[in-house]
Amino acid sequence: MKATISLGSNLGDRFQYLQSALDSINALTGTQVHSVSPVFETDPVGGPEQGQYLNAVAIVKTILSPEQFLAATQQIELEQNRERNEHWGPRTLDIDLLAMDSEVRSTPELELPHPRAHERAFVLLPWSLLDPDFVVPGKASVAELLEGLEISGIRFCNDLELVAHV
């Protein structure tokens, strides 16, 4: 399956948390990071006062089910000192499963596609650089969804490049 994920960090060595997450995902059985967007620094959206985020999107090929992949990424977050103390609060690492092929699911543990991805410019901008024509089930293409959103709080980090070590 093709999984699309977003990565974010606004605590500690933000870039290293993102790179470590990609390395950990590549280490999962039957899973390989296929492509990674450029890194962007973004203003926080919602939640309490907090620092700037580094954000990126990756496309991953995996044999894991959506539930198995979600559980694995949540374990990676924990291994990178992720604490869930405050809703939309600062974090060392946030990995969101945006879509898995064209799967549509709604369970207490998992909602596909991600319920807010279509309205988040900090997700759609990097995603549009990897897969602009992907149609978010029930919505529109990534490129079309990005068209109506404000992107002024998103800045390209030309000095940072995530690598999908294979």
What number does CATH give the domain 2-156? 3.30.70.560
pTM: 0.93
> Assign residue 129 a region: left if phi > 0, alpha if psi is -120 to 50, beta otherwise?
alpha
Question: Residue 98: what pLDDT?
Answer: 98
User: How far apart are alpha carbons 77 and 79 in whole angstroms?
Assistant: 5
Instruction: Give the tens place of pLDDT for each residue, 30-79.
Output: 999 999 999 999 988 776 677 899 999 999 999 999 999 999 999 999 88
Phi, psi angles (nearest 5°) of residue 22: -60, -40
Q: How far apart are the first and last CA of the chain?
A: 18
User: How far apart are alpha carbons 166 and 21 in whole angstroms?
Assistant: 13
CB-count exposure of residue 159 (10 Å: 0-12, 13-18, 19+): exposed
Question: Which residue of the set 14, 84, 96, 120 is catalytic?
Answer: 96
CA atoms within 13 A on the CB side of 160: 19
All structural domains of the chain with their residue ranges: 2-156
Position 104 pLDDT exceeds 80: yes
Catalytic (active site) residue 94 = yes
Question: Which residue of the set 14, 94, 120, 131 is catalytic?
Answer: 94
Catalytic (active site) residue 105 = no
Greatest alpha-carbon pair distance for the chain in Å reads 39
Question: Which residue of the set 82, 105, 120, 131 is catalytic?
Answer: 82
Question: Which residue of the set 91, 105, 120, 155 is catalytic?
Answer: 91
SS3 142: helix
Residue with tokens 């998103």: 154
User: How far apart are alpha carbons 17 and 6 in whole angstroms?
Assistant: 13
Are 57 and 7 contacting, i.e. CB atoms less than 8 angstroms apart?
A: yes
Q: Looking at residues 111-137, what average pLDDT do you find? A: 96
Question: Residue 81: what pLDDT?
Answer: 74
